[in-house]
Amino acid sequence: MRRSFVKPAFGLAALLLALLAAARAEAASLPETIAAVWPKVVKIYGAGGVGDLEPYSTGFFVTAEGHVATVWNHVLDAERVTVVLNDGRRFEARLTGAEPTLDLAILKLESDQGNFPHFDLEDFADVSPGTRVLAFSNMFGIAAGDEPVSVVHGVIAAKTPLAARRGVYQTTYRGQVYVIDAVTNNSGAGGGVVTTWDGRLVGMIGKELRNAQSNTWVNYAIPASELASMARQIITGQFESTASRRKEPRNPRRFDPLDFGIVLVPDVVLRTPAYVDAVLPGSPAAEAGLKPDDLIVFVNGELVQSCRALKNAFGWLEPGERLRLTIRRGNRLMEMELKAPPQ
């Protein structure tokens, strides 16, 4: 009888000691993991600076040649985007391509240098709930030069479809996400990277979003398995946006910018930027504060890349619908609101 109790006790003690030793070994390797990941993470500076539109975000290298994966957001809507490396070096970067339905954008550093430390898109970890992870990002823009980005540790709480919004607008991403038991999705954290405790790529931190049902902030990452194939297509030049493949319903053309008093610059090329040429006196646009030479960059949270895209967005408006514009005036972003007239 005595043996039957003693043996399990020793077995349990051995198991606890083994688990403790494994935890200590993992904790001991944590500084090495962080030191290895930091050089792969970059700080991105571009458009922003008005309201809740911060002018900074985060990204991470995905090739040795200087391709950077980041979240598709307003920061990239600038004539010049600056990427700051872990050691403080600064590079200009151009947008190679983006897939808004995945919230993914790929930048390329304008540099002849190579051999940048990077994550291998072929080697990502598809983790399960309960997995301990690390989140690296330039949250709140606290790292401007050679300071290291912030590191947060947490646990994967669930893998589930994303149902979230920013303000009143639903997010364009509809795929699976990792919900993380940690505060990860702060201002500027979008585009940051989530890794395992041994440094393998898990996913990309998304935008600041609220749960569509509970109205609570969501701490989540888009799995690398959702992003890897599209990122490779953009990098290799084989990319075709899902938006270009999708058959859209016919635009009803209910409204035109001129209905609000907005006269655009002549639409002479396919991607003529949506600059305001004139504003009619006494019009809704004039009352809202719109001025000539303003560049309209967002309509109701959707990026506008040309005069034609702007006219297309106005055509979908419903009578009486409120219209939120984000415009760039000089080096500043400003927001204003119009209301579609009744028909």
pLDDT in tens, 120-160: 999 999 999 999 999 999 999 989 899 999 999 999 999 99
- Please give the order of strands across the beta sheet that includes 332-339: 302-303, 295-299, 322-329, 332-339
Which 3 state secondary structure label does DSSP give 180?
strand
With 0-12 CB in 10 A as exposed, 13-18 as middle and 19+ as buried, what is 15? Answer: exposed
- CA-to-CA distance for 295 and 303, rounded, in angstroms? 12
pTM of the model: 0.66
pLDDT digit string, tens, across residues 45-103? 998 766 567 889 999 999 999 999 999 988 888 778 999 999 999 999 999 999 888 89
Kindly report the average pLDDT of the chain as a whole number: 85
- Per-residue pLDDT, 162: 85
pLDDT band for position 277 (cuts 50, 70, 90):
very high
d(CA 79, CA 218): 31
| H or E, element range at 9 | helix 2-37
By DSSP bridging, strand 132-137 and strand 193-196 are antiparallel
pLDDT band at residue 1 using 50, 70 and 90 as cut-offs: very low
Long-range CB contacts for residues 29-33, cutoff 8 Å, separation at least 24: 29/197, 29/198, 30/197, 33/134, 33/195, 33/197, 33/198, 33/199
Distance in angstroms (rounded) separating the CA atoms of residues 106 and 59: 9
Closest CA to 66 of 120, 117, 123: 117
